[in-house]
């Protein structure tokens, strides 16, 4: 069946994935207030249809010195290979063919070398500054040696937030719960078979937290020990001094943080609340975007992550000042539904919807989109 919307891909992923894995992709932290806020705030941004000659349209743009086919980047996702065996490599290939960047995660199942090996567009690489600074330096060196020119530094994860569904902290369930989980996994033999054939359950960029017998529990313990709550802006300067390529700071939600990132030499910031997976009372990203654009938009690029579920949402973000958007769950839905072809389908859906929205707002080019596409006086959609 051909999926025509991101929601259709989501429903396909829900049917194909074990409940534990789908909930990991879908869920947020705590009561999932920030996750809901991203979607609700995005849906209320009203746009203005305009009459203009839009017979010729272009969706391409340029970010961080790179020409891309859509104002879109695939976000880093920890354990993204759980959606589909070898899924990170497949998603990177699909992104490259679509002409957009893919960001490989430090905590990916596949090693960066495996992701980059047959990908025609070098991936971006996401980094945590761990307590073990030598490990973070080694990860940067590996990324450089593999041709990565963009480093995405995540700054909003000083420790692990509580997650009440999916692969949260309760990773040693009681026997009854364990039996229920095993039954759920057993109902998806296709998912099991692909992963058994790939034999890739480890964290490819790190030394074996998932290779231990207790798997996810070992990872949670290791990551909890390595995340650094003492991380400060001077550490961003440390990264900047060691990374010769473009530096993107992800996890900015206010003007002061954006200015700090700019002063430390960032080339772009991503307005992000970690997809609602960290601070559960965080602002919706689309609500924070105008403040960040006003503070640093003339000094560096401003990207947005969180709440994007359609091409219309991409246009909303661009109209509010974003240079590009980053997506996580949408392409994971496609990956879980149909592997590489599902990621291609996700990107095709977003392209079609963005093209339609662009035309209806009277714009012929992504570069033309600005606040004039917004409804007068910043009106919101009536609910």
* pLDDT score for 206: 84
What confidence score (pLDDT) does residue 253 get? 98
- Both tokens assigned to 241: 């001094």
CB 248, CB 305: distance < 8 Å: no
When the pLDDT of each residue in the chain is averaged and rounded to a whole number, the result is 90
Instruction: Give yes or no: 303 in active site.
Output: no
Query: Exposure string (b/e) for 294-317, b if CB count within 10 Å is 16 or more?
Result: ebbbeebbbbbbbbbbbbbbbbbb
Residue 181 has pLDDT above 60, yes or no: no
| CA 295/CA 259 separation, integer angstroms | 7
Answer yes or no: is pLDDT of 373 > 90: yes
pLDDT digits (tens, 9 = 90+) for 244-292: 999 999 999 999 999 999 999 999 999 999 999 999 999 999 999 999 9
Output the CA–CA distances (angstroms, integers) from residue 100 to 62, 75, 95, 124, in the order listed. Answer: 10, 11, 5, 11
- The per-residue pLDDT for 195 is 72
Q: Flag whether pLDDT at 353 surpasses 90.
A: yes
CB atoms within 10 A of CB 271: 33
Helix (H, G, I), strand (E, B) or coil at 93: helix
Which among 163, 274, 303, 326 is annotated as catalytic? 274
DSSP H/E element including 88: helix 87-98
At residue 266, the pLDDT reads 98
Whole-number pLDDT of residue 174: 47
pLDDT, residue 197, reads: 67
- Calculate mean pLDDT across residues 16-30: 92
CB atoms within 10 A of CB 139: 21
Measured on CA atoms in the order 58, 61, 67, 73, is the torsion positive or negative?
negative
Q: What is the pTM of this model?
A: 0.92
User: Region 21-40: what's the mean pLDDT?
Assistant: 95
Burial of 213 (0-12, 13-18, 19+ CB in 10 A): exposed
Report for 157-161, 164-168, 221-225, 287-291: range of highest mean pLDDT: 287-291
Specify the pLDDT at position 4: 93
Instruction: Give the residue among 263, 265, 243 at the shortest CA–CA distance from 129.
Output: 243
pLDDT at 203: 79
pLDDT value, residue 198: 66
Given a cut of 50, whether residue 91 has pLDDT beyond it is yes
In angstroms, the CA 191 to CA 336 distance is 9
- State which of 73-77, 189-193, 374-378 shows the largest mean pLDDT: 73-77
Phi, psi dihedrals of residue 219, rounded to the nearest 5°: -65, -45
Average pLDDT over residues 29-38: 96
User: Minimum mean pLDDT among 53-57, 107-111, 150-154, 164-168: which range?
Assistant: 164-168
More confident residue, 292 or 173: 292
**Mean pLDDT across 122-131:** 96
What pLDDT sits at residue 175?
45
Q: Which is higher by pLDDT, 252 or 179? A: 252
Residues of the chain above pLDDT 90, percent: 77
φ and ψ at 97, to 5 degrees? -65, -30
The yes-or-no verdict on residue 201 having pLDDT over 70 is no
């Amino acid at each position: 069946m051909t999926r025509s919307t991101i929601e259709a891909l989501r429903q396909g992923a829900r049917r194909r994935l074990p409940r534990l894995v789908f909930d990991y992709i879908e869920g947020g932290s705590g009561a999932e207030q920030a996750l809901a806020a991203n979607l609700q705030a995005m849906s209320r941004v009203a746009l203005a249809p305009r009459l203009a000659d839009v017979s010729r349209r272009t969706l391409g743009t340029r970010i961080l010195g790179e020409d891309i086919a859509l104002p879109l980047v695939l976000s880093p996702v920890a354990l993204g290979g759980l959606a589909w065996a070898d899924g990170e490599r497949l998603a990177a290939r699909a992104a490259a063919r679509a002409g957009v960047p893919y960001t490989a995660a430090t905590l990916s199942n596949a090693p960066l070398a495996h992701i980059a090996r047959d990908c025609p567009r070098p991936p971006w690489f996401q980094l945590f500054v761990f307590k073990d600074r030598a490990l973070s330096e080694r990860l940067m060196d590996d990324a450089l040696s593999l041709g990565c020119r963009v480093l995405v530094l995540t700054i909003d994860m000083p420790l692990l937030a509580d997650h009440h569904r999916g692969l949260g902290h309760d990773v040693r369930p009681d026997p009854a719960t364990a039996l229920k989980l095993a039954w759920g996994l057993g109902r998806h033999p296709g998912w099991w078979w692909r992963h058994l054939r790939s034999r890739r359950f480890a964290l490819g960029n790190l030394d074996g937290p998932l290779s231990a017998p207790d798997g996810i529990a070992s990872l949670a313990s290791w990551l909890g020990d390595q995340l650094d709550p003492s991380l400060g802006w001077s550490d961003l300067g440390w990264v900047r001094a060691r990374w010769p390529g473009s530096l993107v700071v992800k996890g900015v939600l206010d003007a002061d943080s954006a200015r700090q990132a700019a002063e430390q030499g960032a080339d772009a910031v991503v307005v992000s609340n970690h997809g609602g997976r960290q601070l559960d009372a965080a602002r919706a990203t689309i609500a924070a975007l105008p403040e960040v654009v006003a503070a640093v938009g003339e000094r560096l690029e401003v990207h947005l992550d969180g709440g994007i579920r359609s091409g219309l949402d991409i246009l909303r973000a661009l109209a509010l000042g974003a240079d590009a958007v980053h997506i996580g769950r949408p392409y994971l839905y496609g990956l879980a539904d149909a592997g590489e072809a599902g990621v291609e389908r996700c990107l095709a859906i977003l392209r079609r919807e963005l093209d339609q929205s662009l035309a209806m707002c009277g714009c012929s080019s992504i570069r033309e989109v600005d606040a004039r596409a917004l409804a007068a006086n910043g009106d919101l959609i009536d609910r």
